[in-house]
A = this chain, B = another copy of it.
């Protein structure tokens, strides 16, 4: 596999700016100034930043205040050369969204959510965003009787269709990326996995404008393989953005430093991103532990990028190792690209051919997967 050039790393303002509040504890760090964040990240070699509308412009700001904030922020971007490849909307923090946003039972709440997103899209586009992430953290329920799924999906699709219309009407060069999550903060969230979002998109009016923003932690919470999720999203040509972090299965949403948990799945994810030629941002959506102060925040940011690079190097070494290549042949990996069809024939040609196959001989084949996986582990551990 060919491996790509230097990856472009981005961070959300809310990641290094996270004050460390959790369900059982108070903030441990002061709120960060977005302009400071941009400057510090630029010093670390970061390519760009992303934000929720409220991260940059506090809710309730007047138009004048908004413009002043945006001007100052843009100045920092200009000075540092930082980009804003992605933006998003906060539709989860304010009490008005407690019962849902795009799928709230009350139409007025839904209208507020759509309008807030339109404003936030304007803000994102103004700062250069080309991808707009929609994370429906409140789109779900604890009480199934209160949320008929078909109606909720109708409303979800309606909202995304409206936003696509808006972007098309405005002539913005912007695509949407849905971010699936199985639960937390709701008992069950609609579009819980990459798969559910892929299926949903096909029912939209402008499916080409909508893709995915898979997050490592979110798929891993359910015990699903993130690498497989990315594989299917790439196969469907729907990987528009990605959220890299770390998580242990079956736990609360941890958003740990990339590579700090699930390192083997992280390795295969990086290998796939680097070898597929995918040219999107390597975006980190994680936050520092509560034990950290300012120094720890930047250690955290550096660590995300450093581990990504180390995994990319390990993946390149792995793919270049002749012993790996031989083990791939033993495992018949190249043959998976061979069609099942026999020549130009259809099903009957396969049936005729299958009569000639000696099943016991075929069943006796061995695939050397223990050796192949041990080579993965040894490359991962830097032992080859």
Contact = CB atoms under 8 A, between A and B. Distances in A.
Contact of A199 (B143, B236, B318): B236
A369 B292 contact: yes
Given A310-B381, A340-B162, A363-B94, A114 B347 contact: yes
A31 interface: no
A114 B364 CA distance: 19
Interface stretch (A35-43, A67-75, A247-255): A247-255
A206 interface: no
A321 to B, nearest CB: 11
Given A195-B194, A289-B369, A347 B162 contact: yes
Interface in A189-226: 190-203, 221-225
Contacts of A320: none
A336 interface: yes
Contacts of A322: none
Interface string A334-365: 01111111100011101101110101001111
Contacts of A143: 289, 291, 331, 369, 372-373, 376
Given A143-B372, A236-B199, A260-B377, A148 B336 contact: yes
A107 interface: yes
A256 B199 contact: no
Nearest to A345: B162
A372 B195 contact: no
A80 interface: no
Interface string A247-283: 0111111101101110110001000100000000000
B111 A354 contact: yes
A314 B382 CA distance: 10
A130 interface: no
Contact of A366 (B232, B292, B307): B292
Interface in A88-110: 92-99, 102-103, 105-110
Given A227-B144, A359-B94, A99 B25 contact: no
21 contacts: A20-B98, A99-B365, A105-B336, A111-B354, A142-B256, A145-B268, A146-B372, A149-B231, A151-B336, A153-B235, A155-B336, A192-B195, A193-B224, A196-B199, A202-B202, A222-B250, A223-B223, A249-B249, A289-B370, A307-B377, A307-B381
Given A147-B333, A195-B199, A200-B232, 19 more contacts: A109-B362, A112-B357, A145-B376, A146-B367, A153-B232, A169-B346, A169-B347, A182-B223, A193-B224, A196-B196, A198-B198, A199-B201, A199-B232, A223-B223, A250-B251, A263-B381, A296-B371, A303-B370, A306-B374
